[in-house]
Amino acid sequence: MSKRIVIALGGNALGNTLPEQAEAVKITARAIVDLIEDGNQVVVAHGNGPQVGIINNAMAALQKEDPNQGPTPLSVCGAMSQAYIGYDLQNAFREELLNRGICNMPVCSIVTQVEVDPADPAFQNPSKPIGKFMTKSEAADYAAKTGYLVKEDAGRGWRRYVASPKPKHIIEAGAIRALSEDGHLVICCGGGGIPVYRTERNHLKGAAAVIDKDFASELLAEQLDADMLIILTAVEKVAINYRTENERWLSSMTPDEARTYIAQGQFAPGSMLPKVEAAVKFAQSKPGREALITLLEKARDGIAGRTGTVIRQ
């Protein structure tokens, strides 16, 4: 039976450089179009880690070259990355669809804003490093010029740190849903979306923050009333006791089981933990919903129940 599916693409689906991305999206397109060919209605969300870093560094270099250029807000860098990644994904998806004889499916990218709460505690403790590494003296100079928070990153050098607040609302969800229901393949919520908050007269102001793309994808799936959330990552299944002699790969979890494993510290923060947390939130958001965590190339098998880790009530 066909499903309405939101897919969260991980970084391995996009590569780390411009040429890598151009090649990676071809493989990504084949896996996604497999699901469309099976009759599913698919909406694609994606990360932007390497890409937004490239843009951020390029804009910082421009500021050094031209003193008249002020610092580029992170929200603007995020918007640029959405368009750049969407451009490559659109072309790869369209090419794959046409090559399979699917000629009536338009493909589009939506520059997506995601509302956050300016009172989110994450803003009091910025935890997400971005941009290039600096020496301590470079970092001090950078902080003085920009007012940005800089901290040492695991002994590797100094970097800018920003908040990672939870998403509250997908601003463009109505447009995404309308396009998807009209038969479009929609690419959206790039990099977790552009974080914004409301000010006077309904103005949306960009926040210096990064939203986790798995949490944003989960919220999108709820707002679209999706049947399934698929989080694609670098492993075929979720494991407990990962990389130990007691390692065990999981084919399924209930939300309660997942919460027990989370309490045990089984999943790495910034890696598998947000994926499992997002999957649990979606699975318990409405009866009949389920989440799948697996490899890109195993998504079709995962939907069929042959692999991956499924989280359901």
The β-bridge relationship of strands 128-134 and 158-162 is antiparallel
Q: How far apart are CA 285 and CA 270, in angstroms?
A: 23
Roughly how many angstroms between the first and final C-alpha of the chain, as a whole number?
Answer: 20
The widest CA-to-CA distance across the chain, in whole angstroms, is 60
Q: With beta carbons less than 8 A apart as the criterion, state whether 180 and 244 touch.
A: no
Catalytic residues: 11-12, 128, 213, 275
HEC profile of the chain:
CCCEEEEEECHHHCCCCHHHHHHHHHHHHHHHHHHHHCCCEEEEEECCHHHHHHHHHHHHHHHHHCCCCCCCCHHHHHHHHHHHHHHHHHHHHHHHHHHCCCCCCCEEECCCEEECCCCCHHHHCCCEEEEEEECHHHHHHHHHHHCCCEEECCCCCEEEEEECCCCCEECCHHHHHHHHHCCCEEEECHHHCEEEEECHHHCEEECCECCCHHHHHHHHHHHCCCCEEEEEECCCCEEECCCCCCCEEECEECHHHHHHHHHCCCCCCCCHHHHHHHHHHHHCCCCCCEEEEEEHHHHHHHHCCCCCEEEEC
Q: With beta carbons less than 8 A apart as the criterion, state whether 236 and 307 touch.
A: yes
Gyration radius from the chain CA atoms: 20
